[in-house]
């Protein structure tokens, strides 16, 4: 049973990123503490746009609240930095929706273009859906105000080191989907006299101009960036919500007070975001939880503070270093707590201890896999396997020792009368041996009852060791009532009893060893099964990411051909071929390496060493 990961319910937004007095960006501790508690996957929706365009209202509506993010009904920009609101996702169970409301771009009172650029870049880096909010129409003026997209390649790197290849594919893989919301829209959606959709309206606005003049290049640049970096793209046009007088108190208005068409359009926008925004990932479909998102935010902001360009590869490497060791620690500590909570030594059977271990280990593996990130060669999972196995072995040995102690205590009690009679010489008399045997048999039956019919670990072995010392050979020899032949027959019977006790003790030992082997085999299966499940989820996301980019590039190639951009179309064709080649190379199953790595880990356990070697061999043949 996998652990339940609760989300954090915030009553109101908090500031995630703002500026210090010297103007340098900083991540706020309160927001980090909240993200630290979120171990669910996150869907991150960020809104950007010029100040005083109603961004905060849209985010409050996504939170299904009237108030929260500051609306501000004056010409002053209210939101400073990036504010965060985490809520349970309305559609995706087990996910947290993280809403990011950003400081309005282009505030004349602030006059810090570089600051605006970094706020825009951080919104792109952290989100899975980027909402760009504007007022009026999507014309050249509106697109020019979105010039920040033209600067993304200067302020964000996907891969560390230099690269001669076009990075547009890499950017599209990791950048969020793009939603343009046009507020106070009053035009009819017509093109050449025909009705068009809002999406067609956006795509038409993003068409390129032919020519090679500086003016044409300037016109095309932001459009090329939007087309090259963001897919899918979506557009919503929203009418004015209410009269100017009413809009000055938007926080107090109910839907009935607003224009019904605006309410319908706003609801369609929210439904689209809820149903289409994807969980946050990093290149290759690697999933991100809330606490990982916090680490990413700190990594990106620290790069900006130190004058570097945020790099996704470096951020992923840093995230792996932070998360994997921590995941091992938290998973192991959980296992320790669960074993301490449920195990009472000695257990009635080895199976009972095994069952508690199996459940605790399975949950610990889930905790590790949920908290780990890009665990190369399963290095940290192997470490966890070894620690869990070693700790379970301690429990198993302690259980056996405690069981022996209890068995010895039972023996001391049930054989007490036999011991006392022996010390007093009661059995050293004619006919005493028969009485001694009867007393031993009665005490042995009592022992079997006390030890719960052989359920305690090593109970037969403890009894064997005791009775071996109490064979009664001296009593037998001293019993003159028995003939020589009877004494020989009795000695043979004692010998056969000894053999039978040895057989039962050996059988008990073999059962314990078999249980140990089954535990370790189950441990291997748990680790492989859960790991392969996570890898398969990541593989599916990576395939979806790849197919999304490929489909976008194929569409882009068709559009460029139709518009007469033959050279650009050929460039996109080469990108498409490169994408297909990447997919071809990625075809071999990752299960092969997983089995080899986990098989190697199993080989560290002596009883399973041959089993681990077989698994590694199977991995190489997979």
Q: Over range 95-121, report the average pLDDT.
A: 84
Burial (Cβ within 10 Å: 0-12, 13-18, ≥19) of residue 85: buried
Domain of 115, CATH number, reads: 3.40.50.300
**Domain contains 557:** yes
**Buried/exposed code over 406-420 (b: 16+ C-beta within 10 A; e: otherwise):** bbeebbeebbeebee
Average pLDDT over residues 405-427: 90
Which range of 326-340, 438-452, 493-507 scores highest in mean pLDDT? It is 326-340
Distance CA 517, CA 605 (A): 10
Distinct helix (H) and strand (E) counts, the chain = 22, 12
* Nearest by Cα to 37 from 69, 3, 4, 6: 6
**DSSP structure string for 111-168:** --HHHHHHHHHHHHHH-SEEEEEEES--SHHHHHTTGGGGGHHHH-BSSSS---S-TH
Q: Which two tokens stand for residue 511?
A: 């059962």
- Work out the average pLDDT over 503-510: 76
Residue 39 lies in a domain: yes
Segment (H or E) for 446: helix 432-450
Choose the most confident range, by mean pLDDT, from 88-92, 250-254, 470-474: 88-92
Question: Chain-centre distance of CA 302, in angstroms?
Answer: 24
Compute the radius of gyration of the chain from its Cα atoms: 36
Q: At what angle do helices 379-414 and 432-450 cross, to 10 degrees?
A: 140
Q: Do β-strands 96-102 and 82-88 pair in parallel, antiparallel, or remain unpaired?
A: antiparallel
Cβ atoms of 129 and 177 closer than 8 Å: yes
Flag whether 107 is in a domain: yes
Q: What average pLDDT does the structure give for the chain?
A: 84
- What lies within 8 Å, CB to CB, of 155 at 6+ separation is 117, 118, 121, 309, 310
Q: Has residue 523 been placed in a domain? A: no
The answer as to whether 409 is a domain residue is: no
Model pTM score = 0.81
- CA 344 centroid distance within chain: 32
pLDDT at 67: 82
Q: Residue 612 has what pLDDT?
A: 52
Average pLDDT, integer, range 535-545: 85
**pLDDT: which is higher, 339 or 107:** 339
Using CB atoms within 10 Å of the CB of residue 381, give its burial: 0 to 12 exposed, 13 to 18 middle, 19+ buried: buried
Confidence of residue 622 (pLDDT cuts 50, 70, 90): very low
The answer to whether residue 26 sits within a structural domain is yes
The domain tally of the chain equals 2
Domain boundary among 254, 277, 310: 310
Could you identify the residue written with the tokens 């001296």? 474
Give dist(CA 508, CA 514) in Å, integer. Answer: 10
How confident is the model at residue 304, as a pLDDT? Answer: 94
- One-character DSSP codes across 164-221: -S-THHHHHHHSPEEEEEEES--S--EETTEE--HHHHHHHHTPPPPS-SHHHHHHHH
Q: Which domain holds residue 556?
A: 532-621
| Of the residues 310, 339, 361, the one at which a domain ends | 310
The reported pLDDT for the residue numbered 608 is 46
Give the residue carrying structure tokens 């998102």: 293
Question: Does residue 210 form part of some domain?
Answer: yes
Q: How far apart are CA 63 and CA 359, in angstroms?
A: 37
Count other C-beta atoms under 10 Å from residue 448's C-beta. Answer: 16
Retrieve residue 462's tokens. 């403890």
Q: Which residue has the higher pLDDT, 169 or 600?
A: 169
Domain boundary among 310, 340, 360: 310
| pLDDT, position 464 | 83
Which of 268-282, 351-365, 416-430, 534-548 is the most confident on average? 268-282
Identify any residues that bridge with 85 across adjacent strands, giving them in sequence order.
99
Domain membership flag for residue 440: no
């Amino acid at each position: 049973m996998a652990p339940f990961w609760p989300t954090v319910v915030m009553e109101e937004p908090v500031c995630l990123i703002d500026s210090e007095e010297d103007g340098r960006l900083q991540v706020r501790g309160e927001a980090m503490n909240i993200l630290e508690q979120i171990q669910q996957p996150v869907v991150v929706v960020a809104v950007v746009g010029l100040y005083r365009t109603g961004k905060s209202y849209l985010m409050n509506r996504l939170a299904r609240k009237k108030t929260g993010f500051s609306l501000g009904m004056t010409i002053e920009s209210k939101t400073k930095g990036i504010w965060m609101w985490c809520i349970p996702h309305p559609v995706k169970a087990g996910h947290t929706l993280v809403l990011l409301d950003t400081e309005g771009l282009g505030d004349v009172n602030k006059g810090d273009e570089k600051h605006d650029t970094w706020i825009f870049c951080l919104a792109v880096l952290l989100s899975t859906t980027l909402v760009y909010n504007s007022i009026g129409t999507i014309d050249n003026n509106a697109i020019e105000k979105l010039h920040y997209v033209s600067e993304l390649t200067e302020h964000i790197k996907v891969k560390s080191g230099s690269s001669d290849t076009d990075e547009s594919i890499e950017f599209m893989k990791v950048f969020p989907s793009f939603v343009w919301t046009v507020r106070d829209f009053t035009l009819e959606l017509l093109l050449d006299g025909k009705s068009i959709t809002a999406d067609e309206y956006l795509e038409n606005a993003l068409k390129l101009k032919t020519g090679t003049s500086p003016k044409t290049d300037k016109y095309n640049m932001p459009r090329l960036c939007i087309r090259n970096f963001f897919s899918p793209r979506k557009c919503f046009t929203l009418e004015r919500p209410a009269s100017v007088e009413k809009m000055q108190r938007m926080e107090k208005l109910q839907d009935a007070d607003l224009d019904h068409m605006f309410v319908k359009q706003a609801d369609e926008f929210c439904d689209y975001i809820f149903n289409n925004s994807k969980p946050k990932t990093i290149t290759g479909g690697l999933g991100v939880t809330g606490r990982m998102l916090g680490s990413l935010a700190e990594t990106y902001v620290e790069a900006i503070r130190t004058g570097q360009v945020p790099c996704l590869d470096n951020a992923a490497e840093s995230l792996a270093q932070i998360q994997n060791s921590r995941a091992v620690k938290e998973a192991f500590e959980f296992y320790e707590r669960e074993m301490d909570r449920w195990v009472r030594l000695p257990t009635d059977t080895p199976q009972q201890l095994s069952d508690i271990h199996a459940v605790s280990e399975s949950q610990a593996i889930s905790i590790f896999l949920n908290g780990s990130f890009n665990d190369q060669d399963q290095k940290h999972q192997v470490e966890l396997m070894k620690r869990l196995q070693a700790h379970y072995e301690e429990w198993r040995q302690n259980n056996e020792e405690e069981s022996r102690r209890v068995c010895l205590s039972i023996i001391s009690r049930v054989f007490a009368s036999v011991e006392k009679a022996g010390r007093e010489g009661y059995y050293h008399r004619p006919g005493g041996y028969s009485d001694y045997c009867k007393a031993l048999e009665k005490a042995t039956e009592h022992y079997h009852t006390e030890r719960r019919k052989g359920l305690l670990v090593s109970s037969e072995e403890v009894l064997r060791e005791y009775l071996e010392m109490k064979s009664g050979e001296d009593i037998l020899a001293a019993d003159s009532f028995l003939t020589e032949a009877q004494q020989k027959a009795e000695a043979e019977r004692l010998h056969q009893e000894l053999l039978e006790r040895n057989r039962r003790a050996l059988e008990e030992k073999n059962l314990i060893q078999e249980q140990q082997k089954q535990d370790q085999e189950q441990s291997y299966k748990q680790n492989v099964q859960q790991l392969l499940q996570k890898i398969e989820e990541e593989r599916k996301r990576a395939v979806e990411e790849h197919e999304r980019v490929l489909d976008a590039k194929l569409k882009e190639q068709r559009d460029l051909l139709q518009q007469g951009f033959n050279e650009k179309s050929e460039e996109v064709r080469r990108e498409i071929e490169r994408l297909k080649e990447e997919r071809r190379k990625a075809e071999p199953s990752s299960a092969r390496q997983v089995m080899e790595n986990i098989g190697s880990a199993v080989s560290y356990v002596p009883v399973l060493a041959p089993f681990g070697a077989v698994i590694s061999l199977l991995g190489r043949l997979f």
